[in-house]
Amino acid sequence: MNKKYKLIFLTFFFVNILFAQKNYTLTDVISLAHGQSLSKKRVENSFENKYWRYNSFKKSFLPTINFEGALPNLNIGLTEVTQPDGTVTFQRTSQINSNASVSINQPIRWTGGNIFVSSELVRLDWLGNSPFTSYRTNPFYIGINQPLFKHNRFKWSSKVEPLVYEEAKRLSVEQSEDVSIEAVRLFFDVLNKSSQYEVAKLNKENSDTLYKISKGRYSLGKIAENELLQIELTSLNAEKSLAQSALDIQVSEQALKTFLKTTYDEELILEIDTVLPLRNINVKKAVMLAKEHRSEYIAYERRKIESERDLDKVEKDNRFNADLFLAYGVTQTAPSLEGSYQNPLDQETVRLGVRVPIYNWGLSKSNIKQQQANTELIQNQVEQDQKNFEQDVFIIASQFNIMSQQVIIAEKAMVVAKKRYEVSKQRYLIGKSDLLTFNNSLQERNLAINSYYTTIASYWMSYYNIRKLTHYDFVNQKVIEGEEFKGE
């Protein structure tokens, strides 16, 4: 390959690499996390689970149609047969019994009962020396099964399940913001490790330069051997820190790529945005928004209702209760299918079952008292949890209002520390400052850089935490709505 074509090839190669690289801002990383990360998928799957639970709850109050049958049921063997005089003998029988029924059941939400309508057909084929066929039909059979004075689970689930679903919708918003917070943490972890690497690399370069200069000064007798050894030790430590920083970058980058589900060989060039989108929020408004939108407030109400439900169940399970069963239908039997539908006879059933606890040594009373105490405890806990949560929101919102100022201070401190380090370095190189002063300026510079990245990362995590607490976008002044799952 001649030089001309080689130059064209290399130019094309490096241009492709340049355009293949993409710079990622924090917004890009968060968008990528919400688009393809496993954490976001878990949020969606968790909400989908609650959606189908609520869907099943709603469908449970709709009528169900069922078919049951035995087609056929062959029975050959000894069977008890009652004789005309009332005695029982065992006789060998051979018969085929076939039956089929269709039923419609409708739960009654507010009473806890069940209405049903059914239709049944039975055919009996008697085999042997005197074979015959008989049909029995129930063209229709309608009835109601109604518990009396019992705990109505339908009524209580109608109160609880909508709250569970609403809690899940709100929780999905908060979990989505957790995805953003995790993206922020990993994003700035990479930036912080990269900054530490640059600091370590600069420290290594400076340490090598100082070591060379110090060896010359030592040979001229201007510094003691102890000072030279200290500088040499500083250079070795700088080399060790540089190697560790290089490893830390790789680990943090791989953690971010794993979170974003990107390939390990993809290069992520991160850019920090120093413009802060929000500097101050109204603390009272934040508390009010949290009370309106947080899942905890739905959970507080749900816990109260669940405690009342449990108390209702214990009270009614330990007292008088009864079951009422009423049914009416028609039936007939005949040797032929057509005949079994002619001149049907009525069929009625009325049954009232009761249960009356007479004496159980005070067990029922103890169970009720225990649940009453537990219900009161839950009510008090909910009230305390609510107050604690409002206080937490107030504190977090107040802390956020000083975060932007802390970022500005940390940035200024970093600039001052860098400048002081450069001045101290130059003064040491020309012999107008001692090693202790130089090392102090170096440590302060490193601490200031690390403090800046830690502070700005804390700001962004606090920013998304405020969104999570309030379900509100203070920048665009709108409520953060959860995604509705429509089902398939």
Q: Are 103 and 69 in contact (CB under 8 A)?
A: no
CA 108/CA 413 separation, integer angstroms: 71
Range with lowest mean pLDDT among 67-71, 152-156, 211-215, 362-366: 211-215
- Range(s) within the chain of domains with CATH label 1.20.1600.10: 20-55+158-304+375-479
> pLDDT by residue (tens digit) across 11-61?
433 444 444 456 889 999 999 999 989 999 999 899 999 999 999 999 999
Q: How many CB atoms lie within 10 A of CB 364?
A: 16
Pairing of strands 114-126, 345-355: unpaired
Pick the closest to residue 456 from 192, 97, 242 (CA basis).
Answer: 192
CA 194/CA 188 separation, integer angstroms: 9
CA 339/CA 136 separation, integer angstroms: 10
Question: What pLDDT does residue 64 have?
Answer: 94
Q: How many CB atoms lie within 10 A of CB 383?
A: 12
Q: Are 122 and 69 in contact (CB under 8 A)?
A: no
> pLDDT by residue (tens digit) across 59-116?
999 999 999 998 888 888 887 877 888 788 887 778 888 999 999 999 999 899 999 9
Question: What pLDDT does residue 228 have?
Answer: 78
> pLDDT by residue (tens digit) across 232-247?
888 888 889 889 989 9
CA 199/CA 450 separation, integer angstroms: 10
Q: Which amino acid is at 281?
A: I
In residues, how long is the chain? Answer: 488
Whole-prediction pTM: 0.81
Coil, strand or helix at 431: coil
Which CATH superfamily is 20-55+158-304+375-479 part of?
A: Outer membrane efflux proteins (OEP) (1.20.1600.10)
Question: What pLDDT does residue 214 have?
Answer: 77
pLDDT greater at residue 219 or residue 149? 149
Pick the closest to residue 149 from 363, 318, 308, 326 (CA basis).
Answer: 318
At which residue do the structure tokens 């050959």 appear?
A: 76
What does the DSSP assignment read for 227-238?
A: HHHHHHHHHHHH
What does the DSSP assignment read for 377-395?
A: HHHHHHHHHHHHHHHHHHH
